[in-house]
Homo-oligomer: A and B are copies of this chain.
Amino acid sequence: MPAELEGLHEECGIFGVWGHSDAARLTYFGLHALQHRGQEGAGIVVNNNGVLKGHRGLGLLTQVFSDESSLAKLPGDKAIGHVRYATSGSSSIDNIQPFLFNFYSGQCALAHNGNLTNCPSLKRELEDQGAIFHSNSDTEVLMHLIRRSKAPTFIDRLKDALNQVHGGFAYLLMTEDAMIGALDPNGFRPLSIGRMTNGAYVLASETCALETVGASFVRDIKPGEIVIVNDEGYHIERYTDNTQQAICSMEFIYFARPDSNIYGVNVHSARKRMGKRLAQEAPVDADMVIGVPNSSLSAASGYSEEMHLPNEMGLIKNQYVARTFIQPTQELREQGVRMKLSAVHGVVAGKRVCIVDDSIVRGTTSRRIVTMLREAGAAEVHVRIASPPLRFPCYYGIDIQRTSELIAAHKSVDEIRDYLGADSLAYLSIDGLVESVGLHDDAPYGGLCVAYFNGDYPTSLGDYEQQFLDSLSEEERARVASFAKLSSSYTGNEFTQYPNSSKKVD
């Protein structure tokens, strides 16, 4: 939750089904299982005998589809849906997906999870050619590229377009006669195929959505792949061989639901291993372990079991915290009013406690937690973080855009410990993370992206390169330079070549 509290957001979840009589309702439940990936907007487009129709809106899925009548208007046996996290200032209905395009030659719907590194330059080129954009999302660009391609078939035009967009993306398309999923050459975002008992195929950002709708797991989509689902079943094609797996490690650390499996690895179990490994790397002398609810409970459980310490509920999260627009005033905050998280006096008073958290972004919430625990009577407060320090922005779909927001970009672990007011502080190592996840891919870092920890971005940064460099202070630039030296990919042209190293997968 601290990640959540401090504004670390995933940018989307996608779900689609082909061949179920109640497709919109099924998509509703699939998206419901993915709601944690985006709470600011949602939409569903159905395909009813080749006619596409949609509904979308701002807010939680339950607000956008507030009653049966909202589903009743979406008959059909194929559907795709989307839940969206909107960066502040762009929360316009125009940006809510799936986008539905009506051409005289037919209809097409499009949804997207990720971030393109060359979107601004693509948009500029397209506008110079007369293109008009109606949203400020990266998603729309793909459709313009498809429409301008001169390739013979829709799939060929799509491949053409996919080779022009760079960065992190998982696309989901619905045409009149097919549902298509596509993943970027690094596979930054997860995307899986499942199959229902009636034979319907589903595509989903996480396997938890497969389980929610009663579908069995078929296979993960791999970097550079397209999956095409139609009445004949599904088949896989590739639009590039220039791939290298680098799945976002924050999916394992924080974003994904604990019951999801990514590339065969259960997220809860990975987190529990991170907690155990953290206990080995940084043991503590304390009376109890306390997980920060809810996202750190798995890691805390692993840590406590490895340490043979009781795992206690010393912090409690208000389960009704969402969607309030009423906040404590500064005066009330100073008087101790706390809405979201409370320390449990009856549990921690007089004890030496060790809190386990998934990550630290700005540090303000962690600091508040330490203070709360001390005020509730804790004798000592130790902090253990089940991931490495966050030091760099992400340009592939997580909302960490400025190093100024990241306390570890500016402070050493000792300085952070002092800022938090903790008795001790330790992070998990990058190696510990990679081994705890245990993907065993032979790409760098076992197939994980760890760029926000060490600056070793798997791709060129494209249009963001200058912004990234500009956002660094003099001191930070030096820090980046030193990392660059340590990182084999940080050679002179590391931001301009794409991709700088690759291997064939599959």
Where the two chains meet, the residues of A that have a C-beta atom closer than 8 Å to any C-beta of B are 22, 25-26, 28-29, 32-33, 35-36, 39, 60-62, 65-68, 70-71, 93, 101-105, 120, 123-124, 127, 129-134, 136, 140, 143-144, 147-148, 196-198, 208, 211-215, 257-259, 261, 265-269, 272, 294, 297-298, 301, 305, 310-313, 316, 318-326, 328-329, 331-332, 335-339, 342-347
Contact = CB atoms under 8 A, between A and B. Distances in A.
B212 A22 contact: no
A346 B132 contact: no
A25 B326 contact: yes
A212 B36 contact: no
Specify how many copies of this chain sit in the oligomer.
4
Given A22-B331, A132-B147, 7 more contacts: A36-B320, A65-B326, A67-B326, A68-B326, A197-B335, A214-B338, A259-B345
B32 A318 contact: yes
A268 B349 CA distance: 14
Contact of A325 (B35, B68, B312, B344): B68
A389 to B, nearest CB: 26
Contact of A208 (B298, B337, B342): B342
A305 B324 CA distance: 37
A301 B35 CA distance: 28
A463 to B, nearest CB: 12
Top 9 A-B residue pairs of the complex, sorted by shortest distance between their CB atoms: A214-B336, A266-B346, A259-B344, A35-B320, A130-B148, A134-B134, A259-B316, A62-B324, A268-B313
A131 B134 contact: no
A300 to B, nearest CB: 10
Contacts of A196: 335
A25 to B, nearest CB: 7
Nearest to A124: B104
B103 A127 contact: yes
Contacts of A298: 313
A312 to B, nearest CB: 7
Which residue, A28, A143, A261, A344, has most C-beta atoms of chain B within 10 A? A344
A111 to B, nearest CB: 16
B130 A131 contact: yes
A259 B348 CA distance: 11
A79 to B, nearest CB: 14
Contacts of A132: 101, 103, 131-132, 140, 143-144, 147
